[in-house]
Amino acid sequence: MTRTHTLHAHYRLVRDASCALSAPLSAEDCCVQSMPDASPVKWHLAHTTWFFETFVLERGEPDFRPFDPAFRVLFNSYYNAVGDKHPRPQRGLLTRPDLATVLAYRADVDRRMQALLGAGVTPAQAALIELGLHHEQQHQELILTDLKHLFSRNPLAPAFAAPPPAAAAAPALGWVDFAGGLVEIGHAGRGFCYDNELPRHRVFLEPYRLATRLVTNDEFLAFVEAGGYVEPAHWLSEGWDWRLAEGREHPLYWRREQDWQEFTLGGLVPLDRQRPVVHVSYYEADAYARWARARLPTEAEWEHACAGRPVAGHFAGRGAYHPAAAAGAGLVQLFGDAWEWTSSSYAPYPGFRAGAGAIGEYNGKFMVNQYVLRGGSCVTPENHLRASYRNFFPATACWQFSAIRLARDAPPHPGSG
């Protein structure tokens, strides 16, 4: 009973947060798709609702009738087991249903979900609902990154929010050593996690060290100005081809005007050199690391380094630097600043089991040619952050808040980790 009550409140909280995100936007802002990888805000609002209607209500309501039968296909993202789906690159063509209808769809499904929750749900239903809420939080992050991309393509450079305040000076870059050995990674405990975080398992690590903080815009600018985008020796072969094909000469949202500018959710602003560099591809992260005589961490190194570190504490200080970091003595910016590229290809953990049915398509089928990112960004919902979380994107992806934490091999004696 209590659990349902909590779930009920959680449901309301998460669902309201999505609407709050879109509240300042016009129907036009919510409708357009700026590239195949990004989806319209309206589509995110509808698809997250479709999840509850299709996976919970359709099975749970005694006399289920869909809000609109066409939505089953229209707002299916990729679940082949559910049936046909509308092609992803055409999500932006859906001027109908309009935004008002999609908001009405949300309200209708919320009303029916609350009725279901009020009547009590089975543990299986509760698990599905919890999954749906985490799924919706993922889409809340995408709403912001996709909108940022859309606005970045507009010559008027619209702002979604107030410009970010100037960051405090970044502390000197320090290193923290870890002894490695046979360690455990993967989700532990009773909280929610996705199937791809399981099972918790042993991994053997050589001694390593991690940088205390993320690479700053200032440091990355030094790479740019040292010819980092001109010298192929720094780059993976495929990365160099990507750079040439895309014509990249700096991170995606930088603009080389008289002074360096950066497009942000607060519009076009002078590049803040103290902030972490964000929106870099795996190729750029890897090239920077090689140039800096370092490397990217593996996901196991990253997760092991987090062990025992509180998520909330760091998160509270998004953008600020923790006193420990100022002294160069501890890891900061692990959570809630930017996603950190790891050198680990996204693959199943030993013993991985995908969920049953359509839900089983959630993660497993994307496990090829993607790289794992860890941590969580400034637009990741707070309670979505955890040490075992595995985000993943192709090496070309730049439109997420993706950043760089350096790693190095350490001498083979016990470290401070």
Q: How far is the CB of 51 from a second copy (least distance, A)?
A: 18
Residue 255 within binding range of a second copy, rule CB under 8 A = no
Residue 74 within binding range of a second copy, rule CB under 8 A = yes
Residue 281 within binding range of a second copy, rule CB under 8 A = no
Integer angstrom CA distances of residue 295 from 80, 285, 328: 38, 9, 19
Single out the residue of 26, 123, 165, 293 in contact with a second copy (rule: CB under 8 A).
26
Q: Is 187 helix (H, G, I), strand (E, B) or coil?
A: coil
Q: How far is the CB of 32 from a second copy (least distance, A)?
A: 5
Q: How far is the CB of 360 from a second copy (least distance, A)?
A: 9
Helical residues (DSSP H) of 67-216, grouped into ranges: 71-74, 99-119, 123-152
- Contacts with a second copy in 158-217 (CB under 8 A)? 158, 182, 201-206
Single out the residue of 36, 227, 323, 351 in contact with a second copy (rule: CB under 8 A).
351
Q: Which is nearer to a second copy, 296 or 331 (CB)?
A: 296
Phi, psi of 129 (to 5 degrees): -65, -45
Token pair listed for 414: 């016990």
Q: Which is nearer to a second copy, 72 or 213 (CB)?
A: 72
Name the amino acid, one letter, at 262: E
* CA triple 146-151-156, angle to 5 deg: 175
Q: How far is the CB of 334 from a second copy (least distance, A)?
A: 22
Burial 38-77 (b: 16+ CB within 10 A, else e): bbbbbbbbbbbbbbbbbbbbeebeeeeeebeeebbebbbb
Residue 277 within binding range of a second copy, rule CB under 8 A = no
Residue 347 within binding range of a second copy, rule CB under 8 A = yes
Site stretch for a second copy (CB under 8 A), options 22-30, 245-253, 267-275, 375-383: 22-30
Token pair listed for 232: 């192929």
Q: CB within 8 A of 417, min separation 6: which ones?
A: 176, 177, 178, 179, 304, 305
Residues 310-329: x where in contact with a second copy by CB under 8 A, - otherwise, as a string: --------------------
Which neighbouring-strand residues pair with 185? 201
The alpha carbon of 330 is separated from its chain's Cα centroid by a whole number of angstroms, namely 24
Q: Which is nearer to a second copy, 300 or 385 (CB)?
A: 300
Residue 34 within binding range of a second copy, rule CB under 8 A = yes
- Contacts with a second copy in 222-241 (CB under 8 A)? 232-233, 235-239
Residues 76-115: x where in contact with a second copy by CB under 8 A, - otherwise, as a string: --x-xx----x---x-xxxxxxxx----------------
Site stretch for a second copy (CB under 8 A), options 68-76, 137-145, 245-253, 380-388: 68-76
Alpha carbons 21 and 137: distance in angstroms, whole number: 11
Alpha carbons 337 and 379: distance in angstroms, whole number: 8
From the CB of residue 315, how many other CB atoms can be counted at a distance below 10 Å? 18
- CB contact at 8 A, 308 and 346: no
Q: Which is nearer to a second copy, 14 or 185 (CB)?
A: 185
Q: How far is the CB of 28 from a second copy (least distance, A)?
A: 4
Integer angstrom CA distances of residue 325 from 165, 176, 332: 20, 11, 6
Q: Which is nearer to a second copy, 105 or 315 (CB)?
A: 105
Q: How far is the CB of 165 from a second copy (least distance, A)?
A: 24
Residue 356 within binding range of a second copy, rule CB under 8 A = no
Which H or E run contains 409? Answer: strand 407-409
CA-atom Rg of the chain in angstroms: 22
- Contacts with a second copy in 290-309 (CB under 8 A)? 295
Q: Which is nearer to a second copy, 125 or 363 (CB)?
A: 363
Residues in the interface with a second copy (CB under 8 A) total 64
- CB contact at 8 A, 66 and 122: no
Q: Which is nearer to a second copy, 152 or 380 (CB)?
A: 152
Residue 155 within binding range of a second copy, rule CB under 8 A = yes
Residue 286 within binding range of a second copy, rule CB under 8 A = yes
Using CB atoms within 10 A of its CB, is residue 8 exposed (0-12), middle (13-18) or buried (19+)?
A: middle
- List contacts with a second copy (CB under 8 A): 26-32, 34, 70, 73-74, 78, 80-81, 86, 90, 92-99, 150-151, 153-156, 158, 182, 201-206, 232-233, 235-239, 282-283, 286, 295, 343-345, 347-348, 350-351, 361, 365-369, 395, 409
